[in-house]
Amino acid sequence: VFELLKTMDEALNLLQNLLGWAKSESDQIQMIPEKLDVHDLVEQTFRLLKLGSEHKKIELSNNVPEETFAFADNNMIKTVLRNLLSNAIKFTPVEGAININSKLLDESVVLEVQDNGNGISEEDIQKILNPNELFSKLGTEKEPGTGLGLVLCQSFVHKNGGTLKIKSEEGKGSTFYFDIPLYTETEMA
Spell out the per-residue pLDDT of the chain, length 189, in tens. Answer: 666 666 666 666 656 656 665 665 656 667 889 999 999 999 999 988 888 888 899 999 999 999 999 999 998 999 899 989 999 999 999 999 999 999 999 899 999 999 999 899 999 898 888 877 777 776 766 666 656 678 888 989 999 999 999 999 998 999 999 999 999 876 554
- Pairwise CA distance, residues 73 & 80, whole Å: 11
- Pairwise CA distance, residues 184 & 189, whole Å: 10
- Pairwise CA distance, residues 149 & 137, whole Å: 12
Taken in order 168, 56, 136, 109, the sign of the CA dihedral is negative
With H, G, I as helix, E, B as strand and everything else as coil, classify residue 62. strand
